[in-house]
A = this chain, B = another copy of it.
Amino acid sequence: MITSTGNAKVKQLIQLQKKRKARDEAKVFLAEGLRMALEAPREQVLDVYVSESFYNKRNKELKLDAWGGKLCVFTDSVFAHVSDTKTPQGILTVMRQMEYKLEDILGREKPLLVILDNLQDPGNLGTILRAGEAAGVTGVILSRDCVDIYNPKVIRSTMGSIYRMPFLYVDELPQVVSAMKESGIQSFAAHLDGKRSYDQESYTGGTAFLIGNEGNGLRADVAKAADTYVRIPMCGQVESLNAAVAASVLMFEAARQRRE
């Protein structure tokens, strides 16, 4: 059992919590909490860290010992030190990062894609993955300058969808949007300049929704690459919607049309 916050493993975990660079160099990410541990694909689990109380309470039921050399027990205070949450559940897994290719994402039958341009809020990204999985989204493409998908706050708000939603960071979104066009995928930019209401378009074929930054929307070159601008009609004095809400309204309209 590890009892000191000075331990090298503890220090490394804190680096992995806090720094994208540390995660990317090690090609890992952290998934905290019981639900995230239970839904984790076992072949991607590199290490399992638990608090002493969690181990004592749940070892039998969860067969923690079966993890063998991958399992490591921390005292409760060391676990709390490493945890990203105020009230840690007592289990944290180190996972191998996912690796998807553009072909994985574009190559499906009638894909339903979400393209994110400079999205910055971790909660928004996690919520889009979770709602996207529920709405039948088949992949997410992110500009390189979006928030890190392996940020612990993103992971937590995906509620497990991080394990199942194919995604890819790309350097040049406009080029990818053009490549989609060649694959027969129609792209729709959620844009205040949109003339047609979003529910007047058909999303039953290959479809991609472009969602922009929380404060500034889509960058001009990205919006320009889209086939169609759509607008979500808004009442009252609201100027824009939260990015995750806008994405959800579009994704679930696509899901509704695809069910009919």
Residues of B within 8 A of A255 (CB): 233, 235
How many copies of this chain does the complex contain?
2
Query: How many residues of A are in contact with the other chain, CB < 8 A?
Result: 36
Is A39 interfacial (CB 8 A cutoff)? Answer: yes
Assess the A241–B130 pair: CB atoms within 8 A. yes
Q: Nearest Cβ in chain B — how far from A128, in angstroms?
A: 9
Residues of B within 8 A of A232 (CB): 134, 252
> CB-defined interface of A146-186 with B at 8 Å, one 1/0 digit per residue?
00000000000101110010000000000000000000000
Residues of B within 8 A of A136 (CB): 235-236
A-B pairs with lowest CB-CB distance, top 3: A134-B234, A133-B236, A134-B238
Interface CB pairs A-B, < 8 A, 16: A123-B123, A127-B245, A130-B242, A130-B245, A131-B242, A131-B245, A134-B234, A134-B238, A134-B241, A157-B242, A160-B237, A242-B244, A244-B244, A245-B248, A248-B248, A248-B249
